Structure 1
Amino acid sequence: MLIGEVARRSGVSARMLRHYDDLGLVRPTGRTVGGYRSYSADDVRRIFHVESLRSLGLSLKQIGRALKDPAFTPSALVGDLIQWGEDRLARERELLERLRVIDASAPADWQDVLRVVELMRELDSSSAARRQQAVLTRPESAPVPAELLAGAVLTESDPHVAGALRWALARTGDDGVTALAAAARSGDVEVRRRAVLAIAGMAEVPDAVPVLTDRLEDPDAQVRGQAALALGAQGVAAAVPVLVRMVVDGTKDVDAAEALGILSRDPATATRITTLLADRLADPTADPATRIRLVQALVELEGTTPLEILRRLARDEDRTVALVASALAGIVAERAGEVPDDP
């Protein structure tokens, strides 16, 4: 077959067939009297072999080596192609995310685009100081896209930079919560911790409450605690059981007790809290250290019931618990303008 017919049947242009000939990939076995290339059936099959390998992403040089060297095994080359493909996909995903961030920033002109790109570059810096400065020195007139901050806060390992990122993210309000909502449900516990900690700094934003409330059932105690402390400070009663559990476990028990104190400003919630604390105090399996933490938590609560419980505990069989309860009963009574009973 002449080159024109081969091109028509194979779908490979005559120009590419000549290029294959020049490279030695597919050389026609014959020539016509007039000197035109003449391809045999084996030549055409080789053309299809070349095209098949090209479809896998091999370069013409790699194809030439594969077809020329019988000892050349495909496994190593295919492995390299897989790695190359994964690297390319990663780069394309990163590019796609960057484009989405730029699009979300609603740039008015190319100058806005360049500012966002420059910020991306600074946040990718290996210098923690530079990353922190990129956030803290951002002018009010050039707000940082929430999506960019969210991505950075989820991967930042330096605590000082992470704090600056959370501060900047909190300034974005609802946009920041939206950007982190999916990460708060991530299968990676470290990602959830960072996301919930950042959202906790925006707990006053209405959209943050349902996200944090959902995390009260998280299997990770740290995530639950972060969510509960933030919700407690906002007066969300759903946090009560987790906060009581934190007091019992001694996990940020002082912070948890303060959050319970805020929640106790609502009479109905105060009754619920004191009941839970009293039940824990009456638990025969509770050790003295746990009971003392529960006693200390009672001091933070509003209402008269906590004082009644403290006065009763001042006569507890455990001498240490009794002494702590007696001392704290005096403080609560004095705060309420009463004279405490003697133990």
Structure 2
Amino acid sequence: MTEPTTDTRTAQALRALEHADPSVRLNAALAVGTSPRPRSVGRLVERCAVEPEFYVREMLTWALTRHPAERTVPALVAELRSERAQARSQALHTLSKIGDGRAWPAVTPELLADADDEVARSAWRAAVALVPNGGRAALAVGLATQLGRGGRETRLSLSRALIGLGEAMLPALGAAATAPDPRVRTHALATERLWREPDAGFDLAVEEAKRVVALGPDGPGRREGR
């Protein structure tokens, strides 16, 4: 019996990405990534937009990273204009994993402020991964506009993104620490403490920041140097 060719096996794997069983879809994505073929890129990107299982989406992302960036980056950038939130979020996530700086201009302020929290969180991570060295301070200013947004996980994601920019984010945090909105001030102060004392943990940093905000700038809970 004649063994199927690599192209035949790839075609079978691409069809299996639609299978009802997520374990079959997982193995199909693994197979496509193991034997990268240019024609697979479009199908992988399309599947990322609709795949319901997180672990299968992660394998799809891995499969895309196995293909040349010259093919994957343009296809993923095009997805950033999709009306489907998962398509935007997964494309941003995959771009952050590929790490090709040519995608940087596509991570727009609109994506950083996307109404969907998952898209915004993916945009923050992608921006930090892709930003050129000279753009870190400006990115910090853009990210700081989102301080105080969402629930715990969203705020933690933003704090991690800002911390990933290093000292370049300190001026933006300093400005946010004097914002009229107490939620913004609290988040800014918590992020700064987490940067200076990473072992403190996010929840403890938030609790201390709340106390500082409640006491006001001249209260006894204010740390020296602020």
Give the TM-score of the pair, scaled to structure 2: 0.70
Structure 1: gaps of 5 or more residues: 1-109, 303-312, 330-340
Aligned to 1:256: 158
Alignment length (residue pairs): 200
**Relative contact order (alpha carbons < 8 A, sep ≥ 6): 1 or 2 greater?**
2
Q: Deviations over 1:223-275 (max 9, x none)?
A: 33321222124454343244223332245222222222232334xx533x134
Please list, as runs of the form range in 1=range in 2, the aligned pairs for 1:81-230 lying within 5 A after superposition.
111-137=5-31, 140=34, 142-144=35-37, 145-174=40-69, 175-202=71-98, 204-213=99-108, 215-216=110-111, 219-222=114-117, 223-230=119-126
Please list, as runs of the form range in 1=range in 2, the aligned pairs for 1:1-343 lying within 5 A after superposition.
111-137=5-31, 140=34, 142-144=35-37, 145-174=40-69, 175-202=71-98, 204-213=99-108, 215-216=110-111, 219-222=114-117, 223-235=119-131, 236-237=135-136, 238-251=138-151, 252-266=154-168, 270-271=170-171, 273-280=172-179, 283=180, 286-287=181-182, 289-300=183-194, 318-319=214-215, 325-326=222-223
Distance 1:225 1:116 in 2: 33
Aligned to 1:306: none
Structure 1 stretches of 4+ moved >6 Å: none
Q: 1:215 to 1:177 in 2, by over 3 A?
A: farther
Give the TM-score of the pair, scaled to structure 1: 0.49
Q: Deviations over 1:148-202 (max 9, x none)?
A: 2112112211222111111221232512222222221123334323332332333
Write the letter of the residue equivalent to 2:96. Answer: A
Q: 1:279 to 1:216 in 2, by over 3 A?
A: farther
Aligned-residue CA RMSD in angstroms?
Answer: 3.5
Distance 1:246 1:218 in 2: 7
3-state SS of paired residue (2:147): helix
Q: Deviations over 1:36-74 (max 9, x none)?
A: xxxxxxxxxxxxxxxxxxxxxxxxxxxxxxxxxxxxxxx
Distance 1:137 1:192 in 2: 24
Distance 1:172 1:323 in 2: 56
Q: Larger Cα Rg: Structure 1 or Structure 2?
A: 1
3-state SS of paired residue (1:248): coil
Q: 1:325 to 1:129 in 2, by over 3 A?
A: farther
3-state SS of paired residue (1:249): coil
Distance 2:156 2:51 in 1: 28
Structure 2: gaps of 5 or more residues: 197-208
Identity in percent: 20
